Structure 1
Amino acid sequence: MKLKLILALSCAFAQPAVASVAMPPSTVQAQVNLAKAGSIENLDLAQLADGINDGAFNSEAITAAYLARIAAIDDSGPMLNAVIATFPDALDQARAMDAELRAGTYRGPMHGIPILVKDNVEVAGPLPTTAGSLALAGNITNRDAPLIARLRAAGAVILGKTNLSEWANIRSDNSTSGWSAVGGLTKNPHALDRNSCGSSSGSGAAMAAALAAGTIGTETDGSIACPAGVNGVVGFKPTVGLVSRRFVVPISHSQDTAGPMTRSVRDAAIMLTFMAGSDPQDTATADADRWRGNYATDLSVNGLKAMRIGVIRAPDADATLFDAAIAKFKDGGAEVILLDTSKIDQQKIGQGEFKVLLTELKADLASYLQGLPDGLVPHKTLADIIAFNNANADRELQYFGQDIFETADKEKGLDDPAYLEALATSRGLATEALNHMFASNKVDVIIAQTNGAAWVSNLGKGDAFSGPSASQLPAVAGFPHLTVPMGLSGGLPIGLSFIGPKWHDHDVLKAGFAYAQLSKARVAPIFPAMIARK
C-alpha cells in the first residue's frame, strides 16, 4: 500500500526517500518480531525506525516494551532513578502513530519512536517541568518547547521526563551530580555506586540502560558531554543557535542548548535533523534554517578518508584508549596532527565564563519564571527560589547548599560593564583558540578525551571529578561537540570528543560516525552494584 510521507518540518533540505511503507502489524505480532530481533534493549533508534518502515514493528509494541523496561530497571531492580515520570498517554500517542500508518500517512524516521526528555524542557501534558526542584512542582505549562513540537511533528512519542542534577548543576559548588530533590540520585548503569555525571544525568543513564530509543539532554558546559561519556553513550551538543531554547529552564542564553543523547551517531543525526531550526522568539537561532540539513545523510565508515584530524592530548588522558583511538583514525585514512594548546589561557576563559553564567542565570531565570502561565509558580526571581530553598531546607538543602545561587543573586545585570567585559573576553578567547587551531593546522575536526572515569557517588561530599574534560572551549565558543564511546577504563566508560567549527555540525557527525564504525567501542551496561576502585 502506498503511503503519503508527511514532511515533519517545512525546510529546504532533502528528506529521507520513502516510496512505500508496509502496514503495521498487530501489537502481538510486533511483540513477537521484537523478541526475534533480540528484544528492545538490543535495537537502536534507526533499527526501530526501519522496523516500523518495513512493517515488522509498530509503535505501540515498542512503547510498551520501553515502559516495561522502565518499570523493571528504573523503578525496581537496579532502581536507576533515571526517569522521573512517564506520560500517562504514551501508549495513546503510539497508537495514534500506528493509526496514521494504517491510514496511509508516514512522517519519516521518527514516526512512532519513543524518546525521553530532560525535566528542564517543557512538554505539554500533565507532568510538570521542574528542573529537579520542588520550587517548580506546579510548573505544568501545557506547552511544548519548540524542539519538542518539532519532534512531535516528526511523529515522535514523548515517553517521559528524565532526572537531572537540580537546576542543571548551577546551585552549588559542592553539589552531587545526578541528584535532585524531585528525582533523587541517578545511578550509573555501569556501576550502581558510581556517578552518572550531570546535569543530563538521567538522560545519559536512561540511554545507556535502553529505557528509550533516544533521549534529550541540555548543556551549558559539559552537561551533555560528561553524562554521555561516563554512561557510555553518544551525546551531541549542537552549535548554539541550531536548536531553539524557548520553554527550556535556562542558565545562560550565551551557552545553553539542547541536544540528542543516543546509542549511535546515526541515531543522534536523525534526532537532530528534526530538532534543528530557527525560532523567531529565540534570536540566537536566526541563522539555523540556513545551516540545518538532513544530518543522517552521507554518514559512512569511509568518512575519515582525506580528513585532517587535530588531536588535543591531555596529560591525564587514558593513554591506552587514546592511542587506540588515534590508530583507528589512521586506519580510516585520516591525517592526524598533534595540536599545541599551551598558549590557551584556560584559567582566564574559565573566570570570564563563570561571571557570564552568574549574571545570565539571574537575568534569564527571572525572565523564564515571569513568562510562565499565571498561577502555576509563585516564584518570579532567583531570590524567590533562594528563599523557597531556605524555607524547605529539610528537602532541598540536606546534602548541599546554594552558594552559587546566592553569589549569582548579587550580580548587577546584563548591562553591567564587568559582565560585558567577561562575556567578550571568555567568548573571544575560546573562539580565537579554536579558530586558530582549525585554521593554522588546516584540520577539519579536533578530538580529545571527553571525561575521566565515573567516581563513587557520595551525597553531601560533592563530586570527585578526575581525568580530562573537553567541554569548556566548545561550550564557551558555542561550537558543536560530539562525544562517542572510546572504551572502558577499569570497567568504566570513557568518551572521545569531536569538536568542529561553528555550524559544521554535519562534519562532526560524519567524523564521529566513521570512528564509531571502525572502533565499535560501545559496551552495554550490566548493572553491577559496584566496581573495583582504581
Structure 2
Amino acid sequence: KERKAGKLRGSLHGIPIMIKDNIDTADKMHTTAGSLALENHIAAKDAFVVSQLRKSGAIILAKTNLSEWANFRSTRSSSGWSSRGGQTRNPYVINRSPCGSSAGSAVAVSANLCAVAVGTETDGSVVAPASFCGIVGLKPTVGLVSRSGIIPISATQDTAGPMTRTVADAAILLNAMVGVDAADTVTLNAKDKIAKDYTAFLNKDALKGKRIGVEQSFLRGRQEEVVALYQREIDQLKKLGATIVPVELVKETGPLGEAEFQVLLYEFKDGLNKYLSTVKNGVKSMTELIEYNKKHADKVLKYFKQELVEMSNAKGDLKSSEYQQALAKSTSARAIIDRVLKENQLDAIVGTSYGPAHCIDWVNGDQDPGFYFCPPAAMAGYPHITVPMGNIHGLPVGLSFIASGYQEGTIIGLAYAYEQSTKHRTIPRFKRSI
C-alpha cells in the first residue's frame, strides 16, 4: 500500500528478509540462539542492525535456525542442529550438512524461502554455510555492522553479514546494515570508512589489471576434484585480466589457531554473561545455562555435550594474562595479511571457501571436508566474501576473496566480476542422497 501511495522507506521496502535466531527483535518472535534455555525469551528492543533494516523498509519475515549457541557448544556438534529447531538440512542433498552456524539463513536463501537473509560469523559461520549451500556470503570487517543486540561469542571477531543469491544483493543488503552505533564502540572506527553505496563497486571488469594472491595450500588438498575445480577457476581469473600471484597465507596463520580458541573461550564467557543478565524469561548466566542443559539433557544433550561452554565458564576475566597474550597472538593475523598484500602488491587473496558438504552425523558430529579458508580473515576481523565456483557431485563449493580492513568495496567488485563471468550457481533440487 505504501509503495502504491508513492511512499518508499528505502532500498529494501517490502523485501522479505529472514534473520538468524541470535539477533534480537522486539516483536512477537523469540531470540534463542537455538537453545531451549531461551525458548521464552523475547528481546526488549531490536538489535541495532534490525533497526537499520526496518528503517530501509525490510519485512523481517522469520528467524532462522542455527547451530546452537552459534556452534560454540561442543567439539563434535552437528552443524545446523539446535535443541529448539532441530536439524537444518542442505537443500542440494538433504542428508548433507548445511554447515554452520548460520545454517538456516543460508538454506532459506538457497531454497528461495526469502529474498535475502542475515547471518553472523565468528569464524566461518557466514562464509562456510554459504559455500555449502551455493550462495553468496559476505563477512564484513568487524565494526562495520553493529553487534549490539546480537547474542555474542567474541567481541574481537563477531559480526553480522549478508547472505544472498547474488553479489549485487549482498551489496544492497550491506548498505542497509552498516552504521555507527554508540552501544558498540568498535563501530566508531568505521565512521569515516563506510562507503556511501556498495553497489557502486559492482563492475564486470573489476578483475582487469588486478593482482590476486592465490592460496597454494588448497592446490595440495586431499580431494582431487576440488583441487581441479580450484585450478580451473584460477585460470578463469586469469582470463578476466587478473595477474595471479602464488601465496602461502594459511601456513603463516595456521599456528595462530590455538590462541584464537583461547580468545573465544574468554570472550564467550564475558559476552554471554552480559547478554544473559538482561534476559527476563530464561537463564541469567552461563552457569545457569550449564545447569539447565544438564537438567534437560534428554532434549539438549542427547547427541553431543556442552564441553566448550564448560571450558569457557572455567576461564577468568579479560584481565587475565593468558587472555591478553592469546589476543595479541590471534590478532597478529592482521599484520600477516597486510604484509602478504603489501609485499606482493595484491588487491586481494583468493582461496577455496570450504570443501563439499559432508553427511549429517548426529553420532560422530561434523567431518572436516578440508579446503577451509575462513580463519585468516576471521582472526584479523577483515572482510571475506564467498561466491559459488562450481560443484562436486552436485554439492556446491565456494571461491573466497579476502582483503584488508574496510575493503568491502574491493572484494565486492572482484567477486561480482567473477560471478557475472561464470554464473556457477545452480538451483537446489532437494535430492535425498547422492
TM-score of the pair, normalised by structure 2: 0.97
Residue-by-residue CA offset, 1:508-527 (whole Å, 9 max, x unaligned): 10000000001111111100
| Structure 1 equivalent of residue 188 of structure 2 | 286
Alpha-carbon distance in 1 for matches of 2:248, 2:148: 38
1:310 equivalenced with 2:217 (yes/no): no
Question: In the alignment, which of 290, 302, 310 is matched to residue 406 of structure 1?
Answer: 310
1:136 equivalenced with 2:38 (yes/no): yes
Alpha-carbon distance in 1 for matches of 2:146, 2:179: 7
SS in 2 for 1:383: helix
Residue-by-residue CA offset, 1:461-480 (whole Å, 9 max, x unaligned): 11011121000010000000
1:351 equivalenced with 2:258 (yes/no): yes
| Structure 1 equivalent of residue 299 of structure 2 | 395
1:441 equivalenced with 2:344 (yes/no): yes
RMSD: 1.1
1:121 equivalenced with 2:23 (yes/no): yes
SS in 2 for 1:452: coil
1:424 equivalenced with 2:331 (yes/no): no
Q: How far did residue 107 of structure 1 move?
A: 2.7
Residue-by-residue CA offset, 1:178-205 (whole Å, 9 max, x unaligned): 1001110011011010000000011111
| Structure 2 equivalent of residue 53 of structure 1 | none
**Partner amino acid for 2:259?**
G
8 Å CA contact 2:53–2:177 kept in 1: the answer is yes
Alpha-carbon distance in 2 for matches of 1:475, 1:341: 13
Alpha-carbon distance in 1 for matches of 2:115, 2:306: 35
1:205 equivalenced with 2:110 (yes/no): no
Residue-by-residue CA offset, 1:282-317 (whole Å, 9 max, x unaligned): 011012231112111131211111111110022216
Instruction: Give the direction of change, closer, same or farther, for the CA distance of 1:108–1:224 in structure 2 (3 Å limit).
Output: same
The gaps in structure 2 that reach 5 residues or longer are: none
Q: How far did residue 432 of structure 1 move?
A: 1.9
Alpha-carbon distance in 1 for matches of 2:160, 2:32: 16
Alpha-carbon distance in 2 for matches of 1:302, 1:380: 52
Alpha-carbon distance in 1 for matches of 2:419, 2:250: 29
Equivalenced residue count is 428
8 Å CA contact 1:362–1:381 kept in 2: the answer is no
Alpha-carbon distance in 2 for matches of 1:273, 1:513: 16
| Structure 2 equivalent of residue 376 of structure 1 | 281
Alpha-carbon distance in 2 for matches of 1:441, 1:529: 46
8 Å CA contact 1:174–1:400 kept in 2: the answer is yes
8 Å CA contact 2:249–2:337 kept in 1: the answer is no
Question: In the alignment, which of 219, 227, 231 is matched to residue 323 of structure 1?
Answer: 231
8 Å CA contact 1:191–1:528 kept in 2: the answer is yes
8 Å CA contact 2:23–2:150 kept in 1: the answer is yes
Which one has more relative contact order, counting CA pairs under 8 Å at least 6 apart? 2
Alpha-carbon distance in 2 for matches of 1:178, 1:310: 32
| Structure 2 equivalent of residue 503 of structure 1 | 406
SS in 2 for 1:191: coil
Alpha-carbon distance in 1 for matches of 2:2, 2:229: 46
1:365 equivalenced with 2:269 (yes/no): no
Alpha-carbon distance in 1 for matches of 2:373, 2:95: 24
Instruction: Give the direction of change, closer, same or farther, for the CA distance of 1:138–1:102 in structure 2 (3 Å limit).
Output: same
8 Å CA contact 2:386–2:399 kept in 1: the answer is yes
**Partner amino acid for 1:519?**
T
8 Å CA contact 2:10–2:55 kept in 1: the answer is no
| Structure 2 equivalent of residue 247 of structure 1 | 149
Residue-by-residue CA offset, 1:108-165 (whole Å, 9 max, x unaligned): 3211100000000011211110000000111112421111110110010101010000
| Structure 2 equivalent of residue 106 of structure 1 | 8
Alpha-carbon distance in 1 for matches of 2:278, 2:414: 40
Alpha-carbon distance in 2 for matches of 1:343, 1:439: 17
Q: How far did residue 321 of structure 1 move?
A: 1.3
Q: How far did residue 376 of structure 1 move?
A: 2.2
Alpha-carbon distance in 1 for matches of 2:40, 2:249: 47
SS in 2 for 1:506: helix
Residue-by-residue CA offset, 1:208-266 (whole Å, 9 max, x unaligned): 10100001100000101110000000000000000000010100000000001000000
Q: How far did residue 460 of structure 1 move?
A: 2.4
Question: In the alignment, which of 169, 173, 176 is matched to residue 71 of structure 2?
Answer: 169
TM-score of the pair, normalised by structure 1: 0.79
Alpha-carbon distance in 1 for matches of 2:237, 2:316: 48
Alpha-carbon distance in 2 for matches of 1:455, 1:515: 26
Alpha-carbon distance in 2 for matches of 1:229, 1:120: 21
Aligned ranges for residues 62-81 of structure 1 at < 5 Å? Answer: none
Question: Which deviates more from structure 2 when the two are superposed, residues 357-366 or residues 327-336?
Answer: 327-336
Alpha-carbon distance in 1 for matches of 2:315, 2:189: 31
SS in 1 for 2:3: helix
SS in 2 for 1:354: helix
Q: How far did residue 333 of structure 1 move?
A: 1.1
Q: % of aligned pairs identical?
A: 43
8 Å CA contact 2:31–2:38 kept in 1: the answer is yes
SS in 1 for 2:52: helix
Q: Which has the larger radius of gyration?
A: 1
Alpha-carbon distance in 2 for matches of 1:124, 1:424: 37
8 Å CA contact 1:235–1:482 kept in 2: the answer is yes
| Structure 1 equivalent of residue 159 of structure 2 | 257
SS in 1 for 2:228: helix
Alpha-carbon distance in 2 for matches of 1:487, 1:193: 20
Alpha-carbon distance in 1 for matches of 2:5, 2:346: 49
The gaps in structure 1 that reach 5 residues or longer are: 1-98
